[in-house]
Structure 1
Amino acid sequence: MSEFFTAGELLALREHGIAVFADRVLIDVQPPLADARIAEIQAMCEGPLPQALLDLWRLTAGGELAYDLRTQMDGNEEALSWSELFYDGSQHYRDLRGWIEHEQECAQDAAEQDGAAWNGKLRYLPIGGFEYCDRIYVVVEPGPRAGSVVAWKQGLPGWTHALQQDSIATIATDLYGAFAALCLEADPEQDEDSTGVRVLEYLDERVSAHGMPQPLADRVAAFYRRARVDWRTPLEAGTLADKPGLAALALRHALAHDDAGLVRRLAEQGVSFHAPLHGSAQPVDVALSQHAFGAAQALLDAGAPVSATAIHRFDREPPTELVAGLLARGAVADALGVARCVACGSPDAARLVARACGAGIADAYAQARDAMATRYQEDLKRVRAGNLGHYLGADGLAARVANLREFSL
């Protein structure tokens, strides 16, 4: 029972597909799981279902979550998508029965590979996640880890800065702790990119189309927004460096908004810029991928590390002085870097990189140019034929091709 809402309000919220569990808001909720079905699932597990999971399932057997969640996996800083609670009968990626059957098949296959007989009991029970790429499990084996919550994330071999293999991480020692780890990194009333916009839109729709009282919707929104993470208060207090998680959130905000001033404030407070910020990408690479060139320069000025392939990250016209700074800090000068700068419309930066390459760059650049121009040209043909959607559009692709064809060392 929530201390924020009365029993009558909770009943009214349920009529609008809203429930509260462990101080977190669920929307588009499903009916509770029947005791007979709970007993059926219990019989499939190595150990007892934890009380926290029973409490959740007796409240709702499915629904949506709209919060942020991060953890470290294989040295990467990973954002996890726990936006769904699985439930029977969804017939899609949320299907609880289907995911349980999937885990049973995986357990059987693993036992056969080990040359052992599987006892037919699950040790990890899937309860939520997002489609096929992120899943949340409750540990249902006896022992010290019983009841803990584990996240699984699909690896993307060959993808830059992504996990190179499937990975797992423990989120919390129980389901209540896992829900407590859910937060809002940005205020949905102030940032249109906030995860929480989904909940506010849901509330608006319930008010406008289903008669939900506006004051009740406002109370839900206020309760929901209590999960916001506050990095600004410790920033003002000068204590942010002592809180690495909040400092990382502040830095992500700075890069997302190309706020060089905020980067400098973080540096002055002693915030470290040496840890992965997104996947395996460190802050400079994140800034470059987001075209946050002012923030990237501020990071360089603060001594942030530079990856060897930093110049390959450009996808918009790079400032020549920033390219010079990257080269001075360890970015490798090569033909691909020259071609990236040319394609993005910065011939001066391209010549700067070329001079740092030394002998043989003309032939190497010609090969890189031709390969890059061919890819852009092929994409342009598909876009014009209506067979491909591309973030550059036809005009942007044509400009890239023209830049590469017109430039000469």
Structure 2
Amino acid sequence: MSTDGIVIFEDRLILDARPPITQAERDAVEARCAGPIPDGLLALWQASFGGRIDYALSVEFGDHVHEFSFTELFYPGSDGYRDLPGWIEHEAEHAEAAADEAGDTWRGTLAFLPFGGFEYLDRLYVCVEPGPDYGAVFAYAQGLPPAWPLQLHHAALARIADDVPALFRRLDLPTDPALGSDAHGPGNELMEGIDEVRARDPARAASLEALVRAAVTDWRAALADGSIAARPRPRRLALEAASSRGDIALLAALRGAGCDLDEPFRGGGAALDHALAAGRLEAAAWLIEQGCDPRNAIANGAAQAPPDLVRTLLARGAAPTAIAAQTAARSGRMESAQLIADALARVDPSAVEKLIADLAHAAGGADASAKRIDAGTLGSSRSAEEYRHEAARLRALRNHCRSLVGSGS
């Protein structure tokens, strides 16, 4: 094991690396599994039995592209959401419950072994049951509530690699962390770790930095050499960069290079969805003029959409949703919220009736938050007065919706 806490596995860096797995630890894990630990996972654990990961991992759940959170390698005694034995016990409890529900007897061992992920939201498993998937890596994402735009909204599972080494080779960096251009992106913790090494061992630090920079997916080079349209990962990164920044010239260049501006990328949204969600209204208008599909634009960008743009999107076939109406109201765009609610009433009056109840509940929640802030029992970046204003807007939209359905409730 390295003395600086950094271990290299498949040309990727593991931070806060730990000693290799012992035979006793291996025996304890294998006792809970339907088969032996596959070679790929064992190789990882022999390099470091636990640690931190700071790379990006893009996972496709069907046609939904999910930016998977893989920040931790589980190990016994970790201070994460659960340690490795805790996750094994969690999986065993669910497996036994599933067998009971199906009227079967659980055999007492796991077919899939969890080994990494992020808290309770994203988890990686290795198949430990002998068969065609033995050793393969599966990704599970819990999903977030529908109010979160451009996110996965349901639990999903996908096979993503033939083995653990192949998984690590998939890890990449969307931007070069050595340039410091993305303060919140993956790779920054890698550079911080390397900086700590640099003072003691400049040669090792240079070698580690070269590995980090080699993991960068350079979409600019792919655009320049004409290969971008045939390369999904650089193509999607470029589309996201262009739309989230509102870079019309880059969007046009990507279209000219053969990229489809309607291709879904992160969160299932296409360029128009991301541009609107980021508040890049000029780029959103340009994308609409190019004939981009507007169906999900209101659902994904209601917080940023002014009334005229909402009218344009609705006229071009954008779908109104109850969550979008509520989101617009929360964001202070009352006219947009009312336009969305009006359109929703025309296509689904029952959804408006449900929205009325949801708005009442949400307004009550905002009022309760304001009272807790006043009482000093809730810490928030927002003031009590801001919560009260939000409650007033939600009630105003509720009143508007009641007028649409003629409800006396």
TM band (smaller chain): 0.7 to 0.9
Establish whether residue 328 from structure 1 lines up as the match of residue 315 from structure 2: yes
TM superposition score normalised by structure 2 = 0.80
CA contact (8 A) 1:184 1:195 kept: yes
Aligned equivalents of 1:143, 1:357: Cα separation in 2: 49
User: Is residue 187 of structure 1 aligned with residue 176 of structure 2?
Assistant: yes
Q: Which residue of 2 aligns with 1:116?
A: 104
Q: Could you say which residue in structure 2 is the equivalent of 1:46?
A: 34
Q: CA deviation at 1:73?
A: 1.5
CA separation in 2, counterparts of 1:154 and 1:355? Answer: 33
Report the 3-state secondary structure (helix = DSSP H, G, I; strand = E; otherwise coil) of the residue aligned with 1:97.
helix
Equivalent position of 2:403 in the other structure: none
Q: Please tell me whether residue 244 in structure 1 is matched to residue 237 in structure 2.
A: no
Which one of 137, 140, 149 corresponds to residue 149 of structure 1?
Answer: 137
| TM-score normalised by length of structure 1 | 0.80
Q: What is the match of residue 272 of structure 1?
A: 260
Cα distance change on mapping 1:328 and 1:38 into 2, 3 Å: same
Cα drift, residue 406 of structure 1: 11
- Structure-2 change in CA distance of 1:268 and 1:349 (3 Å): farther
Q: Superposed, which structure 2 residues align to 1:20-59 within 5 Å?
A: 20-59=8-47
In 2, the alpha carbon distance for the partners of 1:350 and 1:186 equals: 36
- 1:342 and 1:111 mapped to 2: Cα distance? 45
State how far apart, in whole Å, the 2-side matches of 1:127 and 1:339 are.
39
How many angstroms does 1:50 deviate by?
A: 1.6
8 A Cα contact 1:74 1:163, kept in partner: no
Contact 1:50 1:146 in 2 (8 A): yes
Match of residue 407 from structure 2: none
1:47–1:140 CA contact under 8 A, matched in 2: yes
Partner SS state of residue 127, structure 1:
strand
Aligned residue pairs total: 390
Q: Please report how far the alpha carbon of residue 393 of structure 1 lies from its aligned counterpart in structure 2 after TM superposition.
A: 5.2
Counterpart contact for 1:259–1:294, Cα < 8 Å: no
Deviations 1:252-273 (A, max 9, x none): 1123322222122222333223
CA contact (8 A) 1:27 1:199 kept: yes
How big is the shift at 1:194?
1.8
Residue in structure 2 matching 1:127, options 111, 115, 120: 115
Which deviates more, 116-125 or 238-247? Answer: 238-247
- Aligned AA for 2:189? R
Are the structure 2 counterparts of residues 239 and 57 from structure 1 closer, same or farther at C-alpha, using a change threshold of 3 Å?
closer
AA aligned to 2:175 is: A
List per-residue Cα deviations over 1:69-115 (Å, max 9, x = no partner): 01122532111111111111225435112212222222222222222
Letter in 2 for 1:293: L
Q: Does the C-alpha gap of structure 1 residues 345 and 61 become closer, same or farther in structure 2, counting only changes over 3 Å?
A: closer
Confirm or deny: 8 A CA contact 1:264 1:302 kept in the other structure.
no
The residue correspondences of 1:303-314 to structure 2 (distance < 5 A) are 303-307=291-295, 310=298, 313-314=301-302
1:213-228 to 2 correspondences below 5 Å: 213-228=201-216
1:168 aligns with 2:134: no
Percent identity over the alignment is 37
Q: Compute the RMSD of aligned alpha carbons.
A: 3.8
1:232 correspondence with 2:223: no
User: In structure 1, how many angstroms separate the alpha carbons of the residues matched to 2:321 and 2:89?
Assistant: 50
Cα deviation, 1:103-143, whole Å, max 9, x if unaligned, reads 22222222222222222222111111111111111111112
Offset, 1:312:
7.4
- Give the corresponding residue for 2:70: 82
Alignment correspondent of 1:203: 194
Is 2:255 aligned against 1:302? no
- The 8 Å contact of residues 74 and 167 in structure 1, kept in 2 or not, is answered as no
Superposed CA offset, 1:340-380 (max 9, x none): 76875678878988998999xxxx9xx89x96887766655
For residues 303-334 of structure 1, the C-alpha deviation after alignment (integer angstroms, 9 at most, x for no partner) is 22112661773334x45654453233223579
CA separation of 1:101 and 1:377: change in aligned 2, threshold 3 A: closer
Deviation at 1:169, TM superposition (A): 0.8
Inter-CA distance 396–55: structure 2 relative to 1 (3 Å threshold): same
Distance 1:405-1:130 versus aligned 2 partners, 3 A rule: closer
Tell me the residue number matched to 1:5. none
Partner SS for 2:224: helix
In structure 1, what is the equivalent of residue 167 of structure 2? 178
Q: 1:263 aligns with which of 244, 247, 251?
A: 251
Please state whether the residue corresponding to 1:41 is helix, strand or coil. helix
In structure 2, relative to structure 1, the CA distance for the partners of 1:260 and 1:118 (3 Å cut) is same
Between the aligned partners of 1:172 and 1:334, the Cα distance in structure 2 is: 36
Distance 1:377 1:106 in 2: 38
Residue pair 2:244, 2:274 contacting (<8 A) in 1 also: no
Structure 2 unmatched runs, 5+: 347-351, 401-409
Report the Cα distance in structure 1 between the residues aligned to 2:142 and 2:223, rounded to whole angstroms. 35
